[in-house]
Structure 1
């Protein structure tokens, strides 16, 4: 069996897009930084997000049944940091992110994100310490520029340039 330390070291060598997952609904509003996000299929358009079962976001996401994947743009290191800081409230996190767009279903999308994908949870699969949330994509907002924030070898890397999402409002 592979040790946890070796596995984590190996995963640090796997470049990943940096995302902020947001949710809002009857269970409450919350958001967190995540790199464990991946497309599943384009018919129906769906993606997966892996969340630790002990994370506050886990039960809120499950109970709200909806979420938004905000793919961070190059230069949004501070936004990623804000959404991974336990000491900040969701309002403080959103304030550090700047303008927020309400998706058609009310999910908060970060206006500065490169892409925002509004999802409805289609399935939840428990695996070890995490749950895999499979979301069917119901709305997409695409930024006007190019560029993304990546995480590799435990550091942020900027890929290309970036522009805010169209339709942004404060």
Structure 2
């Protein structure tokens, strides 16, 4: 499969947007907080992400963004599998741990929570809102990040759990009664 770099065909009409302006705009985008787990044994690691999206339903595929400067990038290339653990409203400590807060790294990030081994060998968080086990289908390298396309191999859902959200630079929780409401 080939990827076309459209930037090569389009003139640079605007200078680069200042990074602080871009970050400010992205804080307006609310996202579910997930922990991406990967690796096995002592090489186990992972990271916190809000850049997770459904990519395709046929076949079921997810899209995840990963900074190629992270230790998780090397582990992912070695293992070829990852799990998306969509966190519940009371799991901010898990998100912080996998975001590297407190200086805890690698396999030590898993200590303190219950995990189950998934089909790909990756670990899934037992009481997450959902756990999606993926085999790496493709990694598209662009700028500082890779776009990971993960072919879904298994799904576990706990529908009674409310998700942890990230918006405006902080964790957020749905208020009672917000579930299932829609904007018109």
TM-score bracket, normalised by the shorter chain, equals 0.7 to 0.9
CA distance in 1, matches of 2:77, 2:175: 34
Aligned to 1:42: 57
CA distance in 2, matches of 1:77, 1:64: 27
Bigger Rg over Cα: 2
3-state DSSP of counterpart to 1:113: coil
CA distance in 1, matches of 2:53, 2:158: 19
Aligned to 2:157: 142
CA distance in 1, matches of 2:106, 2:145: 22
Cα deviation code 1:3-59 (max 9, x no counterpart): 111110000110011000001248921111111111101110001111111011011
CA distance in 2, matches of 1:63, 1:159: 37
What is the aligned residue count?
160
- Give the TM-score normalised by the residue count of structure 2: 0.81
Unaligned runs of 5+ in 1: 162-170
CA distance in 2, matches of 1:27, 1:93: 11
Detail structure 1 runs of 4+ shifted over 4 Å in the superposition: none
CA distance in 2, matches of 1:25, 1:101: 12
Higher strand share: 1
- Give the TM-score normalised by the residue count of structure 1: 0.88
Structure 1 residues 120-135: aligned runs within 5 Å = 120-135=135-150
Across the aligned residues of Structure 1 and Structure 2, the Cα RMSD in angstroms comes to 1.8
Does the CA-based 8 Å contact 2:41-2:107 persist in structure 1? no
